[in-house]
């Protein structure tokens, strides 16, 4: 108690970062935000492609909150839709709103695998419910995920993303306190390795394979041509459900997600992030015959709930976002910026004599500081982590923000322009020269 009173008395003199540290463990609201070098970062405002910190410095934001604002921060069309919605209706504890029906209709219209859809508040809830449904529908317990993919914070999947070398090939839970039985029921396989995946499916009954079609949680590792179709074939052969986690790729790479690009139709699809341009919303969709097992139909056995599912403000944000993606050349714009950045970053590092592999897809880009091919997470152990993170911290002095955390990707939004690509290239070169003293 004394601590809190003393804190209250001191409040006037303490900085916001100190006040945060005093009353919030670590001073931030996510384990992914407690990042060395950013301990005192205050987000004071956002606008289009930029954010402003507590000292009034403005940065071109390429991190973009791990990817949601595909239209840019504070998009006026999204803001208007949210404001109108919350002035009209703020009840979602019973029944259904016109907004929810309209959004589900759009998901069914655009995403190939989605025959029917349900809304969640986050991506983690969507993947949780997808796996629960897969277990219920198949009567099996086990799940297969891939090293380097992230699917949220729950026990069945919170493991083996950016693992230390010695944990690859073993289970690498991201937290203590996880249920060992749940962790053990998930097998982890190398991305792009169909043989190892088939071994898992043939040796034990597997309820679901869950996969990021492009593992963007480790930057951008592209699937081999046959990999995603190969997973579909294996699932069909072994009676396993294919869950395509499009929380990052959905709406960012195409209105229909990456599945509309690669032509592989999963049984279930999870969505989030870019779907709501920054408002907390996720979705789960797929084959109607599977989705029908959810308890949203009275008496059906797979429990599905969430106080904030279908929140009118978030649904309005998602509807406005999807309509803008459908009606304006958003993907054309962000893909062109991404292509230019990847090409010119590769040219830049070549001219500097710095070994680098610039990867990405569409609006997403990342520079790994390494030689050699990138087909799976283990290849990325060669990345020069010190250079990767310190270069990004140094870029901040030049008005550019990319997350200074190993392997994290950067994004373009509709609010970014070619001038921002120029700023990125200039800041990257200046930061590299400062670091290398040349
Ligand atoms: C591919 C993927 N799936 C699921 C999630 C979990 O989403 P959320 O953080 O909204 O719970 C994330 C979050 O980064 C993700 O990248």
CA–CA distance, 379 with 37 (Å, rounded to integer): 26
Give me the pLDDT at residue 91, please: 83
Q: Which of 32, 151, 251, 405 to mutate to test the pocket of ligand 1 (most atoms within 8 A of CB)?
A: 151
Asked whether residue 7 carries a pLDDT value surpassing 60, the answer given is no
pLDDT per position as a tens digit, 96-149: 999 999 999 999 999 999 999 999 999 999 999 999 999 999 999 999 999 999
Mean pLDDT of 268-292: 98
Q: Which of 63, 68, 127 to mutate to test the pocket of ligand 1 (most atoms within 8 A of CB)?
A: 127
The SS3 of residue 64 is: helix
Catalytic (active site) residue 361: no
Asked whether residue 13 carries a pLDDT value surpassing 90, the answer given is no
Mean pLDDT of 304-332: 98
Given the residues 61, 75, 145, 150, the one annotated as active site: 150
Mean pLDDT of the chain: 96
Mean pLDDT of 11-18: 84
Asked whether residue 277 carries a pLDDT value surpassing 60, the answer given is yes
pLDDT per position as a tens digit, 240-263: 999 999 999 999 999 999 999 999
* H or E segment and range at residue 339: helix 330-352
Catalytic (active site) residue 419: no
- Tell me which residue of 383, 402, 376 sits closest to 160, measured CA to CA: 376
pLDDT per position as a tens digit, 184-196: 999 999 999 999 9
* Alpha helices (H) in 192-246, listed in sequence order: 194-203, 227-238
Cβ contacts of 300-309, under 8 Å, gap ≥ 24: 301/136, 302/129, 302/132, 302/133, 302/136, 303/132, 304/118, 304/129, 306/120, 306/121, 306/125, 307/93, 308/92, 308/121, 308/280, 309/92, 309/118, 309/119, 309/120, 309/121
Least confident of 4-13, 157-166, 221-230: 4-13
Asked whether residue 360 carries a pLDDT value surpassing 90, the answer given is yes
Name residue, tokens 């209709």: 105
Residue 122 near ligand 1, beta carbon < 6 Å: yes
Q: Which of 32, 150, 214 to mutate to test the pocket of ligand 1 (most atoms within 8 A of CB)?
A: 150
- The CA 6 to ligand 1 mean position distance, Å, reads 38
Residue 217 near ligand 1, beta carbon < 6 Å: yes
pLDDT per position as a tens digit, 392-404: 999 999 999 999 9
Which of the four pLDDT bands, split at 50, 70 and 90, describes residue 269? very high
Mean pLDDT of 293-299: 98
Asked whether residue 5 carries a pLDDT value surpassing 70, the answer given is no
- The CA 83 to ligand 1 mean position distance, Å, reads 26
Asked whether residue 2 carries a pLDDT value surpassing 60, the answer given is no
Mean pLDDT of 379-389: 98
Residue 66 near ligand 1, beta carbon < 6 Å: yes
Atom in ligand 1 nearest the alpha carbon of residue 32: 14
Radius of gyration of the chain (CA): 22
- The CA 119 to ligand 1 mean position distance, Å, reads 15
Asked whether residue 221 carries a pLDDT value surpassing 90, the answer given is yes
The closest residue, in CA terms, to atom 4 on ligand 1 is: 151
Catalytic (active site) residue 245: yes
- Angle formed at CA 158 by CA 157 and CA 161, multiple of 5 degrees: 100
Give me the pLDDT at residue 4, please: 57
* Bridge partners, 282 (sequence order): 120
Atom in ligand 1 nearest the alpha carbon of residue 212: 1
- The CA 133 to ligand 1 mean position distance, Å, reads 18
Mean pLDDT of 193-215: 98
**Cα-Cα-Cα-Cα dihedral sign, residues 122, 127, 133, 136:** negative
Is the pTM above the cut of 0.95? yes
Least confident of 7-11, 79-83, 263-267, 287-291: 7-11
């Amino acid at each position: 108690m004394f601590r809190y009173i003393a804190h209250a008395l001191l409040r006037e003199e303490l900085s916001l970062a100190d006040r945060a540290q005093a009353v919030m463990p670590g001073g931030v609201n996510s384990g992914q935000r407690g990042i060395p070098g950013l301990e005192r970062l205050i987000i004071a405002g956002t606008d289009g492609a930029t954010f402003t910190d507590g000292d009034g410095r403005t940065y071109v934001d390429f991190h973009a909150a791990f990817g949601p604002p595909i239209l840019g921060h504070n998009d006026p069309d999204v803001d208007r839709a949210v404001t109108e919605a919350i002035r009209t209706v703020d009840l979602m504890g019973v029944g259904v709103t016109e907004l929810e029906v309209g959004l589900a209709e759009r998901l069914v219209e655009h995403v190939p695998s989605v025959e029917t859809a349900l809304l969640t508040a986050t991506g983690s809830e969507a993947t949780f419910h997808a796996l629960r449904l897969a277990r219920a529908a198949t009567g099996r317990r086990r799940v297969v995920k891939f090293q380097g993919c992230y699917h949220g914070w729950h026990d069945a999947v919170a493991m083996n993303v950016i693992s230390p070398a010695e944990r690859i090939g073993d289970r690498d839970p991201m937290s203590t306190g996880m249920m060992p039985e749940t962790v053990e029921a998930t097998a982890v396989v190398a991305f792009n390795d169909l043989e190892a995946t088939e071994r898992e499916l043939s040796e034990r009954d597997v309820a679901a394979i869950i996969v990021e079609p492009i593992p963007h949680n480790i930057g951008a590792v592209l699937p081999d041509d046959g990999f995603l179709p190969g997973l579909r074939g294996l699932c069909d052969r072994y009676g396993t459900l294919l869950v395509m986690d499009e929380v990052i790729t959905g709406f960012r790479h195409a209105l229909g997600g990456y599945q509309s690009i690669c032509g592989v139709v999963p049984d279930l699809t999870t969505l989030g992030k870019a779907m709501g341009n920054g408002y907390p919303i996720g979705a789960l969709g797929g084959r109607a015959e599977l989705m029908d097992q959810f308890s949203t139909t009275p008496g059906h056995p797979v429990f599905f709930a969430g106080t904030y599912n279908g929140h009118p403000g978030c649904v309005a944000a998602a509807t406005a976002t999807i309509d803008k993606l459908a009606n304006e050349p958003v993907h054309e714009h962000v893909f062109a910026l991404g292509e230019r950045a990847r090409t010119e970053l590769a040219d830049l590092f070549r001219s500097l004599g710095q070994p680098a592999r610039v990867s990405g897809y569409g609006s997403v880009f990342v520079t790994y500081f390494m030689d050699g091919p990138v087909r799976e997470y283990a290849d990325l152990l060669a990345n020069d982590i010190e250079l990767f993170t310190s270069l990004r911290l140094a870029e901040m002095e030049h008005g550019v923000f990319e997350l200074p955390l190993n392997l994290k990707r950067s994004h373009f939004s509709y609010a970014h322009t070619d001038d921002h690509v120029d700023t990125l290239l200039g800041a990257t070169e200046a930061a590299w020269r400062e670091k290398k003293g040349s």
